[in-house]
Copies of this chain bind each other. A is one copy, B any other.
Amino acid sequence: MQNYRLTVQYDGTDFAGFQLQPNQPTIQGELERVLAVLAKAPIRIIGAGRTDSGVHAEGQVVSFKTDCLTVPIGRIPAAMNSLLPDTIRVLTAEYAPSDFHARYSALRKTYRYQVYHGPTADVFLRRFALWEQEPFNWAVVEQAASLLVGRHDFAGFASTGSSVRTTTRTMYRVEVDTSQRLKLLRFTADGFLYNMVRSIVGTLLEIGRGSREPESIVEILATCDRSAAGPTAPAVGLVLESVDYA
């Protein structure tokens, strides 16, 4: 069967996450519904990252196999977008080698967490950024964030409940971009544990507010103690920015 690869953008606010769930609006559910209309056959898709309820994507990657799609490859985005809600857009569609798997072939993913720091919430950013009101020290957040780079056991930043073989991941890059009105925390790793970015951000936010020392990052990585980390930051600010393949 022909293998396909899509790049997908979505505003996750009104969805119960990427993954298919009965009787709830999901990204996978919407994409599969629309593909079934176009292919006149059921199609099962694979997403690179199974983003949670309320989490957004700028460059989610999806793969699926079918021989039933007769729409020319260049017209797939427009054909799907005409049937999708305006909160989901297919940006690109291309043929993929038969061994391409959106999830297992991924080498690196980049997640971005968006924070709006100001005295009053911003109406234009309310669906896409966490509003942070407290006095906040971005320099100390940048310093603490740099401690995450490298190969570490990130168990202390993972919610339990997921079954993974190992909790060791390599964080290639952490960037704290405070140059714009919307502050960005960007994480690139070879993989992320369940709730890992949100646990890291929850901890970094406490550091920025001054209620936690930057060095506690080192301690959480060393002890793997989830209870030592900060709370899971809200989904609203999280965006799956891009996925890298070979």
Contact = CB atoms under 8 A, between A and B. Distances in A.
Contacts of A77: 119-120
Contact of A123 (B11, B119, B124): B11
Contact of A89 (B9, B81, B122, B128): B122
Contacts of A122: 9, 89
B123 A88 contact: yes
Interface size range of chain A in the complex: 20 to 34
A67 interface: no
A237 to B, nearest CB: 12
B124 A86 contact: no
A81 B121 contact: yes
A173 interface: no
A126 interface: yes
26 contacts: A9-B120, A9-B123, A9-B124, A10-B123, A11-B123, A11-B124, A11-B126, A56-B123, A56-B124, A58-B124, A77-B119, A77-B120, A81-B120, A86-B121, A86-B123, A86-B126, A87-B123, A87-B126, A88-B123, A89-B120, A89-B122, A89-B123, A90-B120, A91-B119, A91-B120, A124-B128
